[in-house]
Structure formats: structure tokens, C-alpha cells
Structure 1
């Protein structure tokens, strides 16, 4: 397949079309080639280039990719597939949802579809996209958005929010309609489904929306891959072979053998461990971590404060119910987020060690192999990991698409 990769990030979705899994190893999938990839973030683009050096990476705003340039890149041969999903922060139900410019980046995806006219497209985003609506904000006499201060009921924090005048249609309905009828004689038959990566060999409960479009002139029908039968991988299955890390420590060597097939797959022939480090905590955070058991979090810790077991000066006054939470070793991880290295993040304290996850542990849980490289500081690295489609999920989707085009 000839593929165009949009909003690629560090390349989680790319990985599934670049590699395939054979005998519990990742091997290059020579049946696929990439016309180009596009990513606006500098560090994510650098990571992409490090991992996929033979794919042309265009590190700039997608809006700068004009029709003539895209046509030159494509050349005379047809494009089979466009993959990618615009940034998800606008649609996420975690934190502040804002209908901003990022929420309409699907228009750029649509524009490139209309130029490249691939046989199929694969569009991915967070589940929150299904409930997001067009939002029209109140403006003043000068056309500036009017804001108001609101207090978050869970965190107690005051934040500035734009005042809403009215809501419009659901974004997913707009996307379906626009992608189905791009022009009078060109468009796609659309399928949309929420898939949980835990059902496809990834040790993580991560629900994502996958929108697939099949060009209307093709006599083929899409079906989503079936869930893998058998027990789900736990977080312990995923990361228990990785070395212990203490505060202010960066570990670069393995000190044990892989304990299961998943760990063998993730390690491959890798020798040097990267992104496996921990920062330094203050006294309050350290106290929280030491007193939170598996499955517990903020409210359990505050109950200890209320009962007099822990001094009231340590009471947690910010964060959501599932923040400051310790992971449960025997079950899959919850969704890995950009805040995986912060104990105050959404349930990301290691199940047995008194610290948050390391970036490498987050990458492992997302099914990135240990030899996969990331770029930038810890914030950039965790964003590259947290925003990605898990590679093992991507491989299964790629296999399904290849099978469809063969038929």
C-alpha cells in the first residue's frame, strides 16, 4: 500500500503499517510504503525521523501543504490509504474542553483526502469526539470572546472559561457527512466504532474512536477486527522485568531476563534502556505515595488524614477522584496520559514502587518496543507516548486493511 500519514506524532499508528509481527518479533512490512508524513510538533517529528528514517517527514503546519505540493509528492501512482488523527485535546473529556481551532482540524484531513483520493482512510481520535458539539461563544462589541471564572467542583480550582452562546451539531455527524459527500461525485462510505485496545493485546484500557472510509466506487465493505480471545495482559505482565528506579535515578541497563512473551517482544535485541528515570518529590508527595495502596487514590489518602492517621497539613486539596492513585498489578493499566510521570496524574503511581511511572514504562504499556526512540524533555516525551495509537493495535488495523484491499 502507498500511504500518507497525517498528524503522525512520534509514529504509533505509523508503526502498525511499517512493521508486522512475526514469531513474536517486529519485522519490516515491505508491502507498504509511505508517500510522506506530516507533524507540526518539532520533537515529535524528530522522534518520527529517528524511528522511520526512510519516510519523508514534513515538520510544519498542515495548512501550509498546498495542493500543488501534495500532488508533486504523490506523483503518478495512486494513494491507497491515508491514516492519522488530529490533536485530541479539544475533544478530551479530561480537563477543559474548548471548541477551538484544533477541534476543526478534520477540515485539513478532508482537504488532503480530496486531493489524494485514497481508496481508504483511517481516522482516529478520543472517545470524547462522539459527544463534542460545535460551540458558539459569546463575543463583545469588538468580536472578542467573553470569559467567565468558574470553580471546578472536584479540584476546587478556579479557571477562565469562554461563555457559551449556543451549541450546534455533533462534530462526529459533521465529519461523517462531509467525508461521505466530499463532492457530488466523490466521497466515502463511513464506518465508526469505539475500540478498546485491551481487547487487541495491549495491557491498557484505552478506548478510541476509529472512523474508516471506503471510497464509494470500490465494491468492498469494511469490518472492524475482532477482539483477541484469552486473558487480558496486566500491567505487571507488561513492565515487571524493568529495573527498580529510585528518586532522582536514571537506569540504563536491564538487570533481569524477560518473563513472558510480551516482555520478549518489547525488548527484542535492545541492550540500552532509555527513558527509565524518576524525578525528585517533595515531602507531601512522598507522604502521599507511601500511604496509598493499590487501587486507592486521593479520597483514600484524605480519609487517613480525617481519621488522624496522617497530619492534616498533608491533606490533598486539588486533583480529581482518581488522581494520586496507585495502579493495580493484576489488571490492565488505565489509559496512559501525558501526565504519567506525575503522581498527581490520573492513576499512575507504580503498583509496588514508591514513584510514578517512568516514560519507558508508559511506552511499554502503550506497546512501544524498548528500542523505540523519543525526543525532547520529559514533557515532550510523555506527550509523544500519551497521544499515540498503541503500535500493537495499529498492526491489527493494518492487517485488516491489507486483507480488505487484497480481496
Structure 2
């Protein structure tokens, strides 16, 4: 077997949470990133700082129209923007982002990759676009396996469900399997229990300031906000494990009128995380409690950027670049590195088996 690492292209890469799971020896290793593409310039600054890999900042379709020299790769990874499939997008019919799987597959073809991994929201697998993806993959000689997985089953302290599609070139690489769980909710089958919020943020001190700090990790991203007196009063009105309905019961006079009128749904809004459970899905505006269950388990504040990054599974030394909002977007849009690592391990096994046969 050759000793150099397998070559990886990361499309719609963001900050590179998926690349981290594939390339960092603390997760999987065995891969090196030879190209990344994303239209978020701050995220690409982070990706470059983390991997020193060539990167393209811009629209993938425009880039392909320029007839670029696409490097040869063993695997292409990435998730075409998911807003077009997301249930959060009620008007997703006709959303142009639904078609971004097409340039993704173009790069798979141009790079000569023997395998690809596509990550997206669970709704992808129930969409007409997925049927089109499967047909295109089959024409290109790829077989597919796919499923919806939960990041908590792979060591992230977060119950984030995602669709994973793995394609492999028939006759050119061993068939991969879907990643095996490394953790379980109840410790079944001898596996460790899901990681919980206390495990990953419990020892952090109180945050300081309201800006990114000029100090060593983890405290550089462990800063707070400047809440109004009304916001502080709302935080205090939410008990351990509570949410917006507790706020309404305890302090109706400071509860937003729209929440009072809406008597159902939204049970995570203005909710507190639980110490002894994984977090809910971390999204790009985790610093706003009105967007979800993002209040600290017991402190009267939302979670910090560092706490969100740890819940995602990023190590403290990951070199995020950009403003507060830009870094929050990078964290919320990322694939949790522990989940990426589980996928990377099955990809590495399948691709390496083929290389061993060639070496023999």
C-alpha cells in the first residue's frame, strides 16, 4: 500500500468541519485536502488557516465555467447548501440551490474520484432531486448507500440528524458500509452513552467581555453579549430545562405578544440546554435564545461561541477566522467533526483495500 495520504476535495466546504474529520489524526487522518470551494470568504479564510490547501472563493458554477484545472482526487466530500430542502424553508419549490448537486457531481467526474460523500438535511432523501442525483451517479458508474444519521451516535454532544450519501465507483474500490455507531443513547451494545452538554462545556469559567478576545483558546471565543434589562429578566424567568412557555407562565408581562398568541409548537424557543443530555442542533444564530434552545443550562445567558464549537465537536485549537457573526455561521453550518470522522473511517477502509490490491 502507498504511504502518502488519499487526496480529498471539499466542496461547499465552509470552515471545514467535514475536512477536519477526514484529515486530522485526532479524528481519522489518512486524507489530505487538495482543494476546497465555498462562496463564504471568511469560512475560506478559516479553511486555509486550518489546512493550507488551495481554495476557491466564489460560486462553484462560475468557477467551473472558467474551465479550471481540477486536481485529481480519491474522494469528493461536501454538502450542497441545504436551504432548498430544509423544512425551515416553506417556499423551497423552485429554489435554485436545489440544483447545486449538479456542479458537485461535475467535480466528481472531473477529479476522477472513486468515491464521494454528500451530506445534507434528512429531507434530501425524500426529494425528487435525490432521484436525479441517484440517476446521475448510476450513469457515472457509482453505486450508492445512504441513510439518516444522528451526530450524537458518533460522539458529538448534539442530536443533529443529517442525511449521508456515499457513492463508490463500481469495480474501482471496495464497497463501503455506513458508519457504525460509536455511542448510543442508553449505552446499549456495550457502547458509551451519548456525550452530554456537561462533558464538553461544564468546566468553562464565566465568559468575559462581548468581543473575540486576544488570548489563547479556549477563552478567545468564550465571550458574552450585552443583554437589555428585559432580556435578562426573561432569562431569569426560564427555569432549569424550561422554555418560552415557562417564560409566559412566570412573566407574561415581558413575554413577546407573538409567543402568547401562538399557543402550540416552538417548544425549544427560549429554552435552556440540559446538563445531562446532548444539545439540540446548533444553528448559525445559536447566540440568540429566541431562535432555539440556546440558553445555558443554569446561567442567565445564551451559550458562547466556544461552547457552541465544543458542542459541535471542534477542538479548541481549530483556527476560526472572521467576525463574531461570521464565525457563528461557520460553526452552525459545519458537519460535526466526530460524525465526519466516522464516515472518513469507512471511506478510508474501502479506498485503502483497493490500493492494497493494486500494490500487490
**1:103 matched to 2:98:** yes
More strand by share: 1
The residue matched to 1:317 in structure 2 has which SS? helix
Question: Could you say which residue in structure 2 is the equivalent of 1:83?
Answer: 77
Query: Which of the numbers 293, 298, 314 marks the counterpart of 2:255?
Result: 314
Higher helix share: 2
Q: How does 1:254-403 map to 2 (within 5 A)?
A: 273-304=219-250, 310=251, 312-318=253-259, 320-403=266-349
The 5 A counterparts of 1:103-252 are 103-132=98-127, 170-181=128-139, 186-218=140-172, 220-228=174-182, 229-245=191-207, 248=210
The 1:271–1:210 alpha-carbon spacing in structure 2 relative to 1, beyond 3 Å, is closer
1:93 matches 2:90: no
Pick from 14, 17, 24 the counterpart of residue 22 of structure 2: 17
Q: Structure 1: how far apart are the matches of 2:167 and 2:199?
A: 35
Q: For residues 11 and 336 of structure 1, do their structure 2 counterparts lie closer, same or farther at Cα, with a shift above 3 Å needed?
A: same
Per-residue displacement from partner, 1:309-364 (whole Å, max 9, x unpaired)? x3524345248332100111111111111111011121000001111111111000
Displacement of 1:173 in angstroms is 1.7
State TM-score, norm by structure 2: 0.86
The question of 1:42 aligning with 2:34 is answered: no
Q: Which runs of 4+ in 1 moved over 6 A?
A: 249-253
- The more displaced of 270-279 and 363-372 is 270-279
The structure with higher relative contact order (CA 8 Å, sep 6+) is 2
Give the stretch that moved more between structures: 198-207 or 389-398. Answer: 389-398
Q: Deviations over 1:141-195 (max 9, x none)?
A: xxxxxxxxxxxxxxxxxxxxxxxxxxxxx222222122222xxxx3210111111
SS in 2 for 1:233: coil
Distance in 2 (alpha carbons) for counterparts of 1:80 and 1:338: 31
In structure 2, list runs of 5 or more residues that go unmatched: 1-5, 183-190, 354-360
Q: Which blocks of at least 5 consecutive residues in structure 1 are unaligned? A: 133-169, 254-269, 305-309
Cα distance, 1:131 vs structure 2? 3.6
The count of corresponding residues between Structure 1 and Structure 2 is 334
The answer to whether the 8 Å contact 2:209/2:224 transfers is: yes
What is the aligned-residue RMSD (CA, Å)? Answer: 2.2
